[in-house]
Amino acid sequence: MQIHTRSARRGVLSRRFVAMLFLQFLPIGAMLAAGFGANAAEDSEHWVTSWSTTLHQPELTPGLTNPGFNNQTLRQIVHASIGGRQVRVRLSTFGASGLLVGAAHIALSAGGSSVVPGSDRTLTFGGNPSIVVPPGAPVFSDPVELAVPELGDVAVSLFLPGVTGPATWQFDSRQTSYISPAGDFSQSAVMPLDASTPTTGSWFWLAGVDVLAPRESGAIAALGELTTGGAQSTIDANHRWSDYLARRLVVQPDHHKMGVLNEGLDGNRLLNDGLGPNGLARFERDVLSQSGLAHVIVYFGINDIGTGWSGGLNPGSGGER
């Protein structure tokens, strides 16, 4: 009887102990299950670069440079390839100079220096509305909720409160960007324009725009020279061959939302520096660093062959003869 009683008591204690453990760890189990569910949802999407460009040093060759900006707002228009429900931007400097950004905004472009009403979003960097972009380093903004449509135009506005000096840029963007008079107009629905220099045909410090896209999506980076960059194509028309590729992919019935990124640079060469660092030197920064990279198209040779006998590059022609 004693043995039976002790066994019964042990059984009761064991059941009570298991019940206590169950009640104690039930909330943790519920939280873990919720966490796994959240992770599963997050795993169904990832960041993919929808637009990107090659940036380079302020002076590419004697006479090919820019003065920079002084207490002005720069509104830059870029053409997305794939869309997404969230967006973030990547800024970068080239060389030894950092950049103070006093404020940054992103919105859907309504044409010219205007943005679509209600689409403006404030960009932050680690929760801060301003940032100093370190010399030679890329910086991502915090994500914001903004439904970017496929093949849509996006406006990124940067307020530059100080004297920047000559700027990191893509000198032949084939896209009009807008320059304000003195002041912060980064959140203006229609940005006023500087009387002396209202527009520019270059991009500055803006290296990429990422969207949150389905996991099966990816990015195709096109690395090359002026033929890839779109030299002499119609300004503001998105007539680079990479733009045509993006449009063709979007209408495919089995389209997996592939971003198409243009990393072309006028006058660029594959093995030796031309206008800007050679293709091999910029491969990691301009190609491998892209979010969601899946494929690479390399198109070089014109400038490498041409400069072998011409002895130099002709800015704007990319070295073609």
Residue 183 dihedral angles phi and psi, to the nearest 5°: 130, 170
- Mean pLDDT, all residues of the chain: 85
User: Residue 129 to residues 4, 32, 120, 133, 240: CA-CA distances in angstroms?
Assistant: 72, 34, 14, 13, 34
- Between 22 and 51, where is the model more confident? 51
DSSP 270: S
Quickly tell me which residue has 């496929």 as its tokens: 150
> What is the structure's pLDDT at 313?
52
> What is the structure's pLDDT at 130?
98
Query: Residue 124 and residue 58: Cα distance in Å, rounded?
Result: 26
Write the pLDDT tens digit of every residue in 23-63: 333 343 333 334 434 454 468 999 999 999 999 899 887 88
- What is the per-residue burial (b if ≥16 Cβ within 10 Å, else e) of 31-65? eeeeeeeeeeeeeebbbbbbbbbbbbbbebeeeee
Quickly tell me which residue has 């530059």 as its tokens: 160
How is 106-170 classified by DSSP, letter by letter? EEEEEETTEE-TT--EE--BTTBS-EEEPTT-EEEPPPEEEEEPTT-EEEEEEEEEEE--SPPEE
Write the pLDDT tens digit of every residue in 127-162: 999 999 999 889 999 999 999 999 999 999 999 999
Q: Identify the sign of the CA torsion 268, 274, 275, 278.
A: positive
Q: Please tell me the pTM assigned to this model.
A: 0.83
Query: Residue 164 and residue 202: Cα distance in Å, rounded?
Result: 16
Sequence-ordered alpha helix ranges (H) in 204-288: 226-229, 241-250, 283
> What is the structure's pLDDT at 217?
94
For 314, other C-beta atoms within 10 Å of its C-beta total 17
Write the pLDDT tens digit of every residue in 254-283: 767 899 999 999 989 888 888 888 999 999
Burial class of residue 320, CB neighbours in 10 A (0-12, 13-18, 19+): middle
Whether the per-residue pLDDT at 236 is higher than 70: the answer is: yes
